[in-house]
Amino acid sequence: MTSPDIYYIAGPMTGYVDFNYPAFEAKAAELREAGKSVISPAEIHPAEPLMPTDWYLRRDLAVLVLCSHIVFLPGWKSSKGSQLEHHVATALGMSITYPEGEAL
């Protein structure tokens, strides 16, 4: 069961300075300014490069399935994690927002 109107932010992290957290933080602030409830992976766990990728994915997917909307950041198509999140969001019938110029 999804909670109504909770937005999950998805985007690339690996290989980005500060794991792309500034982009996640900016999008979260934008959505909250618009009155939206937001879950951001950048807020779920600290940028800790010592943990394996699957550790992060498991935590992220556990909260993704509770959301009703997913918002992708620029560059999401190059991220294996974001591609998986896209697959899950599509399978669950979530509302999907793509960055300008990056829709499927």
Is 73 domain-assigned?
A: yes
CA distances from 26 to 4, 9, 40, 63, 65 (A): 22, 11, 11, 20, 22
pLDDT digits (tens, 9 = 90+) for 36-63: 999 999 998 776 667 888 988 999 999 9
Measuring CA to CA, which residue among 36, 22, 35 is closest to residue 73?
22
State what percent of residues in the chain have pLDDT above 70: 92
DSSP conformation class of 100? T
Is 104 domain-assigned?
A: no
Is 1 domain-assigned?
A: no
Is 11 domain-assigned?
A: yes
Q: Is the pTM of this model over 0.85?
A: yes
| CATH value at residue 86 | 3.40.50.450
Domain count, the chain: 1
- Mean of per-residue pLDDT scores for the chain: 92
Measuring CA to CA, which residue among 103, 76, 88 is closest to residue 12?
76
- Give the confidence band of 2 by pLDDT, cuts at 50, 70, 90: low
Residue 54: strand, helix, or coil: helix
Domain that holds residue 68: 6-97
